[in-house]
């Protein structure tokens, strides 16, 4: 492909579109579902991941675009905003159409060949029909509340992303009135995928969708009326929470109220069945105040994410990725004694997160530990770490937990943990008003020594990922355990800032957002440019989840023009145009999509052979650099620096099986091994190198 010149790039804009770049990431995930070399249940899982990603994309990004393009609640005629919405809409429709095509023409037929059946109503035999009819009568019908629409029964409130049905009826109701439309809400307490008994499953395991069961029995709900047409439907709503943090006196209480309202935010998308009659889909669009560009007619379940239930219940290990057991870092029994001798670097999920859990558990019960401080962004509904902090508080230790109540879609879990921690006696704070606390840090303060010769010593954990028991098994992240005194003091200073709201004192090692992180990043980039202009090699390698901050991108462009060689490994949205002569010809961008979600953030600057390596909680986005509390921290030990390079960067630059390279146009091309080139996948290499062989 002909490379874009700087003139061409400038004409199109030196930045790529953020939303289209995010959708391009979902295209790369969808390519995993298309890959015949991947086990078929995992291909189905990738389809579900795309659906989940698109849900959030509509709830947040599309909702934001619609809000920006609206005046007094109505879409404006601004050409640029309208054109951008149309481009995003076109790509979303194409992506969804391809998603269902893969499901129906590839994944479901393959599953059927391997004895995993998702049965349509037309495929059921008499025995299966009888069992499902009995299931419907026992488990479903008592929970249904059909609503015939009339002035006394207006269109009901429809919960965000819930399963519903619209029914067109003929004739008159029991009171002689011609109520032509009815709405049925699927009960949320009933599974969306129902497994049939083994004795009714020929050649394997069989499933049926709740939507199919309700469809088969819709007429039963309207005795004396003829069902003319019906369709399942699902509406997606704006799900960003907003509270006036300058006005509320108790953020936790305010959020509890807002969480209820999230279910009924502004509508942004309507999904209906492919065969939904136009008059019914238009009726729904009118009810939700949506135009037809927001309508998605799908050939299958309106919520493909629910098919994860089918994956979980299909006992077919041969249709999944092979088992993987993470390696366990030896700690010698006494983790504090080990840390006094050396730092510990952990690379998840290739190395177990259990070491971090053991670190906090040991601190909770160690009589020499006097205080534990930790940030919580995402931790899930069940967490050994949170239980250890609760135990520590009950044992009388000073426990301080900075809980981020505004962590999107984890607000409820975090509120619950905040309640439990406070009841145990922990000091719980909610970070800084207007800023999300996204840093992943923990600090243990231990009194050491004997007699009068005692001192307080810091032991810290700093990570690129959340303290979440599930994601640590599927997200790639680095964590550093250290007793280096200055690093410990820096971490404590960050906690002092978060709790006291005082301006942080000068930090020795940590780059802290929103105060210094962007400035330090740009300073490091410019330093490489200065080195390159002096005739020495300038080198930058960065691994992040997203790159959209314009000031950082401009600094990278300038460094490229000064001769710095730059490699960027960006999993998701990237608005930098690489490879444009005269602008970014020394910049390459690649994305790795594989079995695990790439989540680690690594910044490497050659710095005239100083080889500065930073791990961070922050992506290179304006929100991370200015609207969140984030930390980037150096890896000081030379051997551990080499490990980060050898595990976190070099394999990803070498990958030729799961790597996608970004072109100046914004399109991604998948890398393939060249002739006589050995296939190499970074994740496969790390699993083999760091993991424990499965028994």
List binding-site positions for ATP: 53, 475, 571, 599
514 cis-preceded (ω within 30 degrees of 0): yes
By the 8 A CB rule, do 550 and 521 touch? Answer: no
Catalytic residue among 347, 438, 468, 497: 438
Burial class (CB in 10 A: 0-12, 13-18, 19+), 211: buried
Cβ 632 vs Cβ 614: under 8 Å: yes
Q: Which residues are annotated as a binding site for Mg(2+)?
A: 378, 408
Tokens 């949170």 found at:
386
Strand segments, DSSP code E, in 44-196 are: 70-71, 74-75, 116-118, 147-148, 164-169, 181-185, 193-195
d(C-alpha 427, C-alpha 400), whole Å: 5
CA angle 650, 538, 549 (to 5 degrees): 80
Q: Which two tokens stand for residue 228?
A: 């003319």
Cβ atoms within 10 Å, residue 580: 23
Backbone angles phi, psi at 196, to 5 degrees: -80, 155
Length of the chain, in residues: 695
How far apart, in whole angstroms, are the C-alpha atoms of residue 144 and residue 380?
Answer: 31
Phi, psi (deg, nearest 5) at residue 618 = -105, 135
**Known binding-site residue numbers:** 53, 378, 408, 475, 571, 599
| 463 vs 431: CA distance, rounded Å | 18
Quickly count: other Cβ atoms within 10 Å of residue 581's Cβ: 14
User: Got the DSSP string for 393-435?
Assistant: HHTT-EEEEEE-TTSTT-HHHHHHHHHHHHHHT-EEE--BTTB
Edge-first strand order for the sheet with 147-148 is: 147-148, 181-185, 164-169, 227-237, 267-273, 295-298
Nearest to 36 by CA among 115, 113, 123, 119: 113
Return the structure tokens found at 571: 């999993």
Contact 438, 463 (CB under 8 A): no
Question: Per residue, what are the HEC states of 279-333?
Answer: HHHHHHHHHHCCCHHHEEEECCCCCHHHHHHHHHHCCCHHHCCCCCECECCCCCC
How are beta strands 147-148 and 181-185 bridged, if at all?
antiparallel
| 438 among known catalytic residues | yes
**Token output for 137:** 């009568």
How far is the CA of 396 from the CAs of 350, 368, 669, in angstroms? 35, 12, 57
Residues catalogued as catalytic:
438
């Amino acid at each position: 492909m002909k490379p874009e010149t700087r003139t061409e790039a400038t004409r199109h804009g030196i930045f790529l579109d953020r939303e289209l770049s995010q959708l391009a990431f979902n295209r790369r995930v969808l390519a995993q579902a298309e890959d015949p070399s991947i086990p078929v249940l995992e291909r189905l899982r990738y389809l579900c991941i795309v659906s989940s990603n698109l849900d959030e994309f509509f709830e947040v990004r599309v909702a934001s675009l619609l809000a920006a393009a609206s005046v007094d609640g109505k879409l404006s005629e601004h050409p640029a905003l309208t054109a951008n919405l149309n481009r995003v809409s076109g790509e979303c429709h194409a992506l969804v159409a391809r998603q269902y095509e893969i499901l129906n023409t590839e994944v479901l037929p393959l599953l059927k060949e391997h004895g995993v059946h998702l049965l349509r109503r037309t495929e059921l035999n008499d025995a299966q029909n009888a069992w499902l009819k009995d299931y419907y009568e026992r488990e479903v019908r008592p929970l249904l509340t059909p609503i015939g629409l009339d002035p006394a029964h207006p269109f009901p409130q429809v919960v965000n992303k819930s399963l519903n049905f619209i029914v067109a009826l003929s004739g008159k109701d029991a009171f002689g009135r011609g109520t032509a439309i009815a709405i049925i809400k699927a009960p949320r307490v009933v599974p969306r995928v129902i497994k049939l008994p083994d004795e009714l499953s020929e050649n394997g395991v069989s499933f049926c969708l709740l939507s199919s069961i309700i469809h088969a029995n819709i007429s039963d709900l309207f005795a004396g009326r003829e069902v003319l047409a019906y369709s399942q439907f699902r509406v997606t709503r704006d799900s960003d929470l907003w509270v006036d943090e300058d006005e509320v006196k108790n953020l936790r209480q305010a959020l509890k109220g807002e969480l209820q309202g999230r279910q009924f935010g502004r509508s942004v998308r309507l999904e209906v069945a492919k065969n939904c009659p136009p008059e019914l889909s238009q009726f729904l669009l009118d009810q939700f105040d949506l135009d037809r560009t927001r309508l998605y007619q799908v050939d299958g379940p309106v919520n493909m994410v629910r098919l994860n239930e089918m994956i979980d219940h299909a006992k077919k290990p041969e249709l999944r990725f092979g088992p993987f057991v993470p390696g366990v870092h030896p700690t010698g029994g006494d983790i504090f004694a080990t840390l006094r001798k050396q730092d510990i670097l952990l690379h998840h999920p290739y190395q177990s997160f259990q070491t971090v859990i053991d670190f906090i558990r040991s601190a909770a019960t160690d009589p020499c530990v006097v205080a534990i401080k930790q940030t919580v962004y995402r931790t899930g509904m069940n967490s050994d770490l949170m239980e250890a902090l609760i135990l520590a508080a009950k044992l009388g230790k000073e426990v301080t937990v900075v809980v981020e109540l505004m962590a999107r879609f984890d607000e409820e879990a975090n509120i619950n943990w905040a309640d439990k921690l406070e009841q145990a006696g922990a000091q719980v704070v909610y970070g800084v008003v207007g800023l999300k606390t996204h840093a992943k840090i923990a600090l243990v303060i231990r009194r050491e020594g004997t007699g009068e010769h005692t001192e307080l010593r810091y032991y810290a954990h700093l990570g690129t990922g959340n303290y979440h028991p599930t994601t640590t098994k599927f997200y790639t992240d680095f964590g550093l355990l250290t007793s280096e005194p200055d690093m410990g003091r820096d971490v404590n200073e960050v906690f002092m800032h978060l709790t006291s709201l005082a301006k942080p004192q000068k930090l020795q090692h940590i780059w802290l957002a929103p105060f210094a992180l962007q400035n330090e990043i740009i300073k490091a980039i410019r330093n490489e440019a200065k080195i390159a202009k002096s005739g020495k090699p300038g080198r930058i390698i960065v691994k992040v989840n997203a790159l959209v901050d314009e000031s950082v991108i401009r600094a990278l462009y300038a460094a490229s023009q000064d001769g710095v060689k730059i490699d960027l490994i960006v999993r998701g949205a990237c608005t930098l145009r690489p490879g444009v002569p005269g602008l970014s010809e020394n910049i390459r961008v690649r994305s790795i999509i594989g079995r695990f979600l790439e989540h680690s953030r690594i910044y490497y600057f050659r710095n005239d052979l100083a080889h500065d390596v930073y791990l961070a909680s922050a992506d290179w986005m304006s929100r991370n650099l200015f609207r969140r509390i984030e930390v980037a921290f150096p890896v000081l030990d030379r051997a551990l620096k080499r490990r980060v390079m050898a595990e976190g960067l070099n394999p990803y630059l070498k990958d030729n099986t799961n790597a996608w390279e970004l072109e100046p146009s914004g399109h991604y091309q998948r890398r393939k091994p060249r002739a006589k080139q050995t296939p190499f996948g970074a994740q496969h290499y790390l699993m083999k190198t760091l993991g424990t062989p499965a028994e």
